[in-house]
Structure 1
Amino acid sequence: MPGSARRPDALPERARIVLKIGSSSLTRPDGGLDLNRIDVISALVAGLRGRGHDVVLVASGAVAAGLPTLGMVQRPAELRLLQAAASVGQSRIMGRWEASMSVRGLVAAQVLLTAHDVAVRDHYRTVRETFDALLSMGAVPVVNENDAVANTEFNLGDNDYLAALVSHLVTADLLILFTDVDGLWTARPGSAGAEPIRLVTDPAHLASVDVTGRGSSLGTGGMRTKVQAATLACSSGTATIIASAADAVEILGGAQVPQDKGTWFLPTGPHRPSRRLWMAHASLPQGRVLVDDGAAQAVTVGKKSLLLPGVIGVDGDFESGSVIEIVGATGLLARGICRYSAADLREVLEARRDGTPAPDHVTPVIHRDDLAELPRTA
């Protein structure tokens, strides 16, 4: 990767760490829970806690854990069957985490999230406060989306994104995404010319890297979702490692992190206030505005407010005070709290097209203080 930055050889001291381990890493080939892997991860979490780290665990596997009990041999496509499997499997997998951690002196705390919990600002604050309380008392939050009630239209998506969102919620220093592949490669591992990428200083440098590999039959994510999650986390000050769960002991078990294991993504931006994080990654936009190149430049490069002259289109039906998206010629640029309703903006645009005097508005469409720029993801 371009740049002269050096890959760290150790975890940050007394860091707040989010560990995500996926379904493919927690289940055996026959679909049952891999109890040994759960015990290994629990022991590593205990070791991290003993070295002064805070740890949040984002654990997939509820659906996979419920399939054998319900007599299903593969992940179903029908939503109600997925929810049924999750309902059965969630208690099974959480029970195993609790048992495995308790013998090591840890308190496991189940946190099941829905999209509504983070999309609504007041709920988002409550979730942050819950995490802060649990971590301050030494508990290990075990997080998953509440798949038993999530629907396809309003959910948090795969657990890679959920882990990135949790890293924002707890202001993590490091996000580790454990998978069944040894980090990011230039092409599918095993194919001709494929080489591992051990350090990424800027996800923009990955434009030529093939990350189209799909997830396993038991999971929902693939390498693309992990790179997107890393991009989101790094943009807000959280370094990220993508690594094989088989290498977890080598990566987390000692003072040094091997240089030849996994891919380390360096932060590309500072930690941001929770309000901006919520706008950027958790809010539910009510509409969008299309802006010209000058406005796009002002918002992204100039770090300025979005003004009326730069708006060239409106989509959606929203009121003043709603979170909306800002879209330019290159795609999605930012989210922010709009100070106009969609009707007000359309009135201005119609007057502009008709050549008639536009309503006298001087307030910014989105003030800089209410704007959160978005990282570009592959």
Structure 2
Amino acid sequence: MTCEIQSAARSAVAAARRLVVKVGSSSLTTAGGGLDRGRLDSLVDSVARRCESGTQLVLVSSGAIGAGLAPLALARRPKDLATQQAAASVGQLQLAHAYALSFGRYARTVGQVLLTAHDVVRRANYRNAQRTFERLLALGAVPVVNENDTVATEEIRFGDNDRLAALVAHLVGADALVLLSDVDALYDGDPRLGGARVVREVACANDIAGVRAGGVGASGLGTGGMASKLAAARLAAGAGIPVLLAGAVDAGAALTDASVGTAFAPTGARLPARRFWLGYAADPAGRLHLDSGAVAAVVESRRSLLAPGVTRAEGSFHAGDVVDLLDPTQRVVARGVVNFDASELPALIGSSSHRLPPELRREVVHADDLVPLPRL
């Protein structure tokens, strides 16, 4: 890892003309429930200054459920889905109104965009969301994005807004992604326990090999701890987007010279929208296990997957569905559109193509419909 690589990611964040910024619940709400208007105004001050420099900015904001606790007289974040949805219904109005008032101090118009996983998993919805963002940004508005918690069920949730932010960053063609939270950087352990070392630059998988991020930074108001932020940073960096992870209290520096927090250099090439959707947003319907030769062909040579390289199939998928491709160690190495139904594959597994009838001699996954996934 060189100094040039270290500085490149921060420079890219500082110079980004289109930027996605995500802020967590604990940075906007109080422990007792309700919005902390002072924190929200401070965040908006930093965002508005960046917008005034000419940057088009999309803000992914948690906090709807937390904002709804106090108005509904709820002492803590509810665990059951129905009450979470009720709190989000009340809190989302409070959050949107607070942002409208705060950005109004700078004569900035905000637009609310509520998404569910279907909006990025389904190709038609994905394209529609892209058009909405493009028009809002062209009109000079600041889109404020949140998961649509009032209707999202466990089956169609993003899981946390960190992953949502990474997906939105690619969806809008952002030059960089900034993740703001209650932790000021990535550490190799829990900084609350002492002895943890801060990781300032991440350029490859080796830089985070010793990081134990589970639970670090999680609060009672949100769903995302440091593990979710690390996963989101890896997702975005793997798709060619530089990432800065920093504390919300350092938003001013994060959105000016990017001199704070942890910077993640891109580890993969920027993908066309369809290939990103295929690799990171689509919902896999099954899994194909590959032998080492097939892994080398698919990942290193970027060739199509053929039947002889498949050792096992899992799931109830149909031709045209997206499936994960796993290496012999059970690691997902790629994702692609399968050309066979799950019921057809057992008879093909391990078979040489010349022994199959002509109608079955097609690729299991064609190279044009296959995306290798980075290791970072």
- The answer to whether the 8 A contact 1:290-1:314 is kept is yes
Task: For residue 6 of structure 1, give the secondary structure of its aligned residue in structure 2.
Answer: helix
Does 2:249 match 1:257?
no
Which residue of the other structure, out of 164, 173, 176, is the alignment partner of 1:174?
Answer: 176
Answer with 285-294 or 81-90: which moved more: 285-294
Shift of 1:14: 4.8
The aligned counterpart of 1:22 is: 24
The aligned counterpart of 1:328 is: 327
Q: Aligned equivalents of 2:70 and 2:14: distance in 1?
A: 40
- The answer to whether the 8 A contact 1:111-1:141 is kept is yes
Q: Aligned equivalents of 1:3 and 1:294: distance in 2?
A: 33
The aligned counterpart of 1:344 is: 344
Answer with 117-126 or 312-321: which moved more: 312-321
The aligned counterpart of 1:272 is: 271
**CA distances 1:192-233 after superposition (whole Å, capped 9, x unpaired):** 432211111114431211212341000101111111100000
Tell me the TM-score normalised to structure 2 length. Answer: 0.93
Answer with 163-172 or 328-337: which moved more: 328-337
Does 2:228 match 1:225?
yes
Q: Aligned equivalents of 2:16 and 2:220: distance in 1?
A: 36
The aligned counterpart of 1:153 is: 155
- The answer to whether the 8 A contact 1:199-1:264 is kept is yes
**Structure 1 letter corresponding to 2:195:** G
**CA distances 1:30-52 after superposition (whole Å, capped 9, x unpaired):** 22211111112222222111111
Q: Aligned equivalents of 1:271 and 1:240: distance in 2?
A: 13
Q: Aligned equivalents of 1:32 and 1:226: distance in 2?
A: 24
**CA distances 1:233-267 after superposition (whole Å, capped 9, x unpaired):** 01111110111111112222x4x333xx2001111
Task: For residue 369 of structure 1, give the secondary structure of its aligned residue in structure 2.
Answer: strand
**Structure 2 letter corresponding to 1:374:** L
The aligned counterpart of 1:245 is: 248
The aligned counterpart of 1:301 is: 300
Structure 1 residues 172 and 26, CA gap change in structure 2 (3 angstroms): same
**CA distances 1:131-167 after superposition (whole Å, capped 9, x unpaired):** 1111122111100000011111221110000000101
**Structure 1 letter corresponding to 2:65:** V
The aligned counterpart of 2:119 is: 117
Q: Aligned equivalents of 2:272 and 2:264: distance in 1?
A: 21
Task: For residue 15 of structure 2, give the secondary structure of its aligned residue in structure 1.
Answer: coil
Q: Aligned equivalents of 2:211 and 2:107: distance in 1?
A: 43
Tell me the TM-score normalised to structure 1 length. Answer: 0.93
Instruction: Note the 1:1-378 alignment, pairs <5 A.
Output: 2-4=1-3, 5-8=5-8, 10=11, 11-214=13-216, 215-252=218-255, 254=256, 256-258=257-259, 261-330=260-329, 331-349=331-349, 352=351, 358-360=356-358, 361-376=360-375
Q: Aligned equivalents of 1:185 and 1:13: distance in 2?
A: 26
- The answer to whether the 8 A contact 2:288-2:325 is kept is yes
Q: Aligned equivalents of 1:3 and 1:226: distance in 2?
A: 24
Q: Aligned equivalents of 1:329 and 1:240: distance in 2?
A: 31
**Structure 2 letter corresponding to 1:209:** V
Q: Aligned equivalents of 2:312 and 2:215: distance in 1?
A: 36
Shift of 1:191: 3.5
Task: For residue 103 of structure 2, give the secondary structure of its aligned residue in structure 1.
Answer: helix
- The answer to whether the 8 A contact 1:3-1:201 is kept is no
Shift of 1:303: 1.4
Q: Aligned equivalents of 2:238 and 2:101: distance in 1?
A: 36
Answer with 228-237 or 330-339: which moved more: 330-339
- The answer to whether the 8 A contact 1:334-1:374 is kept is yes
Question: Percentage identity across aligned positions?
Answer: 43
Q: Aligned equivalents of 1:370 and 1:300: distance in 2?
A: 13
**CA distances 1:92-149 after superposition (whole Å, capped 9, x unpaired):** 1111001111221111010000111111111111111111111122111100000011
**CA distances 1:282-305 after superposition (whole Å, capped 9, x unpaired):** 112222211111111111112111
Answer with 314-323 or 132-141: which moved more: 314-323
Mark the runs of 5 or more structure 1 residues left unpaired by the alignment: none
Q: Aligned equivalents of 1:55 and 1:218: distance in 2?
A: 25
Q: Aligned equivalents of 1:83 and 1:190: distance in 2?
A: 32
Q: Aligned equivalents of 1:109 and 1:47: distance in 2?
A: 18
Q: Aligned equivalents of 1:49 and 1:316: distance in 2?
A: 46
- The answer to whether the 8 A contact 1:334-1:371 is kept is yes
Q: Aligned equivalents of 2:149 and 2:85: distance in 1?
A: 6
Task: For residue 125 of structure 2, give the secondary structure of its aligned residue in structure 1.
Answer: helix
